[in-house]
Structure formats: C-alpha cells, structure tokens
Structure 1
C-alpha cells in the first residue's frame, strides 16, 4: 500500500513538473499543440506572459519568443539620390514582435534570422525609394528625420503604390499567404505588404553614417585640395605684393632720410665755413700783420711734421720771412 502511494506521489510530482513551465522576463510563451498554435474561445492565440504557468504534458509544448526590442545592423549599401549621385549609407533598425502567432508562422517557428532577412529586404527597398526622392542636401540636413519616419511608417503600414511592387513585397506576400492558410481567425490586415502583417513592429530606423563612394570622394578631395592651393597661391601673391610695397616704402624712407641728412649737413658745413671765413676776415681787418704771422706759423706746423722732411726753396722766398727777423717782424729788402 505504501509502495503504491509512493508511486502515485512520484507520478503526480513528475506530471506536475512536466506541466509547470516558467516564462522569463522579456520573453513570451506561445502554446503549441502538435505543431499548431493553440487558441482560446475567441480564436486568439494563447500567449503566456512572464511568470509560472501550467500546460498539458506530452500534448502541449511552449515556444519561447523574445519580446524585447531587437537591433538589426545593416551592412553599408550604395543608394542613388534624386541628383543621380551615389551615397554609401550605414543604418540600423530596432524592431520587436507585435503579433506572436503571426510571427511564429511567418518565420517558420520564430526564427529571428528569417525575420531579419524579410525585414532587411523590405527596409532596403523602402530606403532606396525614399532616398531616390531627395537630394544630398535634404538627406544630410533636417529632412533626414522625416526620411527615417517615412521609412518606419512604410515598413509598419506598408505602401499603397501598387505600380512599384518590389521583390521583397512579393516575398512578404507569399509568407502572408502561408500565414493566412494556417490561421483560422482570418484576421484582416490593413496592408499585406507591411511588416505588421508578419507580426513585426519596427520601433525605429536610424542612419548611422553617410559617406560618398571612394571614387567620388577622391575626386572631391582633389577638387578641394586644388581650391585650397589656389587660395594659398592667392594669399602668397598678395603677401609678396605687400612685402614689395613695404620694401619700396622703406627704401624711399631711407633714401629720403639720407638725402635730408646730407642736405642739412652741407648747410651746416657751409654755415660753419662762412662763419670761419668771417672770423678770419675780421681778424685780418683788425691786424693784418698778426693774421699773416699766425697763418705762417700754422703753415710751418703743417709743413714740418716729420724731422726728416726736406724742402728746397729759394732763400728769398717769403715762406720763411718771419724766420729771418729776430723781433718777428717782416724784413724788408
């Protein structure tokens, strides 16, 4: 009896253990029964929120789906603007699951890689279309915010232009047909080429970096370098012109200053010579004999600078007339 009770207790605990499951924070659990999504009486898929829950063991299974916001990095790609100019655009997308049932069916069991493939194709087509309507100035200025909003809304709500259906729209439409065939509620989707039709909500779209292609960048850098060199040459020529002007002005000032100094010097020397001549004239008028005597002494001094000097003169020459008189007077013949 005890063994039977113990066996029943163990089986009950085992059933309870296999029936109990826990959905962790940031995830949602979708109930499956033999590979099909379980629904309630209102044909709404059973999606379990975080916490402990019960299931029917061996019959029901729980598929955990990440309900957090996902970030998808896009590889930098080439886009053409309205001006027919190429741009290399690097971007990323933030998205999350909005309808877990549709997402599960559309992605073949909740495969994130499959969801991002569809999202990336749709995003690339939409971004290419939006960039093709703008020029470079609009893309790199405030219009970029509106560009990102338009791309996000187009991803979430789809497009209404049936004349420009892309390959990504066809791919999404095929997945939606697959989802509709497996859905029993036949929920009407506003637009079949939107990501909402696959149970995906695009939270944000951002452009990280916009670059020019290498061949275009090289041409632009060469042009910028040529423009800078032209400006540098202009500045150098202007500097040389100013330097020549300064040198010419300096040379003129030096020449003018020297000429003025020479003129003032000549005037001063002339005035000095005139004053000397005046003094000599006054002295001569007062005592001509004494003046003549002083001048003779000065001549003697200048003539006999060296003891070896020799002068050949006639004895009657007037040069030595003051040397022939003992009292210093001029001798007479």
Structure 2
C-alpha cells in the first residue's frame, strides 16, 4: 500500500513532465526552443517536438506573410515639388534565429518598428534622388521605383531575419497646404491652353473666311464677265436679227417698231396723249403709213 502511494505521485509527475516536454508546431508558424535565453533548437517543420520540461521554453513566430503600413512621410523629388507618400509592405520571417538575435524579446512589434524605419529611409532615398521627378512618381513608370525600394529594403531587412516580399505605394499626393496653389497653377495653365486654342481657332476661321470671300469675289467676277459676254453676244445677235429683218422688209420693220412704240406709250393707265394728229407718230393709226412698201388706205 505504501509502495502504491509512492508510485502514484511519481507516475503523475512523470506524465506531467512528459506532457510538458511535448509541444506542437503549427504549419503556420516556426518555433525556437530556448534554454535560459539561449537558442537550443529551431523547429520549422510542423508536427510534434520535444523540449526539456521546466528548463526550456518555446517561443513561436508567425511563418505567414505579414503586412505593415508605414506612416505618411514627405519626400522632395528633384523638381522640388513635395509629395506626401505612404506605403505598405508584405514581409515574412525568413530566419527565426537571426530574427531572435536582432529583436530579442521585443518580438514582432520591435521588428516592425525597425522595418518601418528601413522602408521610410529607402522611400526618401529612392524618390528623392536626382533622376526622379514628381511626374515620374505620379506616372505608371513608378513601378520601377517601387521595385528599387523593395530590393533595397530587402537587403537591409535581412539583418533582422526578415524577407521583404513586396512594397507598394498607397498614396502619392501633394501636401494640403500646397493643393490650392497647385490647383490655381493648373487652372491658369488650362486657361492659357484654352486661350491659345481659341486664338488658333479664330486665326483658322479668319483664313477660311478670307478664302471664302476671295472665292465669292472670284466666282462673282467670273459670272459677271461671262454674263457680260453672253449679253454682248445676245445684243449682237439681236442687232443682227433686226438688221436682217430691216433689210428684208423695211416697211414691215417700221410697222413693228411703231406698234412697239404704241404699246410702250399707252401702257397701263396712260391712255391719253396730247400730240398733233398730223405727226408721224400716228402714221399707222390714221392709215398714212405703209406696210411692206405699200401705202395703207
């Protein structure tokens, strides 16, 4: 009985010691086995692992890709046009031993503070270089700049045991105090461009209008010349016809001309004339005229 009483506590302690010596490494994490603060082993593969109870402890680190948002900072490109920039990075703990030695017990919080300092320094260095302007930062060409920031940050972060997977710029904007001045300058530039376009349009309109006026004058002149030619030819033809008619029958031609004169003189309401009846005007009305060379009765 006394022997059984002694064995039960021993068995319980043994079981407790065995259980405390076993730990599970999740597939999403890595683990370090520490003994009095010194690294004794690294557990990177998922599954069961063992440690010395009471003497050793297990420190776990996330093995997934993590995100870090940087604070807003101001950068001044080569054209002295200040920009407010903030970025985010994706990183992972690549070397847990190096990570533990670099940040100590501060863990992931201390590592992110130091990584943020690295990122901000690289952002200032790359975006503030002599070859970079604000237009380059705000254009699609900034992809090459972001890759430079990532590569240089990765080189610096390796000392922390971190691998910088990606860096992206979330915001590249003008400082608030510069926005109004920038908008005013942009507005002035657009107004100047609009005035230039209006001036060029007016100049083009004047050229088109002058060409149209010239064309009208030329067409009118050509039409007038052609009409005068046609009128002259018509008058000549009429005169020739009259001459031929007069030569063929002078009496009939005189009769025709007298009838035309009567028509014109007695046109409309003008039917009264004060004239001597013995005048030649009434030769064909009083029968003294002749037609075809014969006297009329």
Q: TM-score range by the shorter chain?
A: 0.7 to 0.9
Cα RMSD, aligned residues only = 3.9
Q: Whole-Å Cα distance in 2 between the matches of residues 330 and 278 of structure 1?
A: 27
Give the TM-score normalised by structure 2.
0.73
Cα deviations across residues 181-216 of structure 1 (Å, max 9, x unaligned)? xxxxxxxxxxxxxx44xxx32434624254443444
Cα deviations across residues 83-113 of structure 1 (Å, max 9, x unaligned)? 66533232334241524486278442x6322
Go from structure 1 to structure 2 and tell me whether the alpha carbon gap of 1:260 and 1:135 turns closer, same or farther (over 3 Å shift): closer
Residue 88, structure 1, aligned to residue 84, structure 2:
yes
Instruction: Give SS of 1:21's match.
Output: strand
Go from structure 1 to structure 2 and tell me whether the alpha carbon gap of 1:280 and 1:229 turns closer, same or farther (over 3 Å shift): same
| Unaligned stretches of 5+ residues in structure 1 | 40-44, 157-194
| Unaligned stretches of 5+ residues in structure 2 | none
Match of 1:208 in 2: 169
Cα deviations across residues 264-302 of structure 1 (Å, max 9, x unaligned)? 223322332233233333333343333222322333344
Match of 1:276 in 2: 238
Picking from 120, 125, 139, the partner of 1:124 is 120
Cα deviations across residues 8-57 of structure 1 (Å, max 9, x unaligned)? 79836555444432111121233345xx2355xxxxx2233321123444
Verify the 8 A CA contact 1:152 1:202 in the aligned structure 2. Answer: yes
Go from structure 1 to structure 2 and tell me whether the alpha carbon gap of 1:46 and 1:37 turns closer, same or farther (over 3 Å shift): farther
Go from structure 1 to structure 2 and tell me whether the alpha carbon gap of 1:21 and 1:259 turns closer, same or farther (over 3 Å shift): same
Cα deviations across residues 288-322 of structure 1 (Å, max 9, x unaligned)? 33322232233334444569823333232222223
Q: Say which structure, 1 or 2, has more relative contact order (CA 8 Å, 6+ apart).
A: 1
Match of 2:95 in 1: 98
The range that moved more, 112-121 or 247-256, is 112-121
Give the TM-score normalised by structure 1.
0.66
Q: Whole-Å Cα distance in 2 between the matches of residues 272 and 74 of structure 1?
A: 97
Cα deviations across residues 218-261 of structure 1 (Å, max 9, x unaligned)? 54554444334333322322221121122122112212222322
Q: Whole-Å Cα distance in 1 between the matches of residues 128 and 203 of structure 2?
A: 50
Match of 2:70 in 1: 74
Match of 1:267 in 2: 229
Q: Whole-Å Cα distance in 1 between the matches of residues 75 and 220 of structure 2?
A: 74
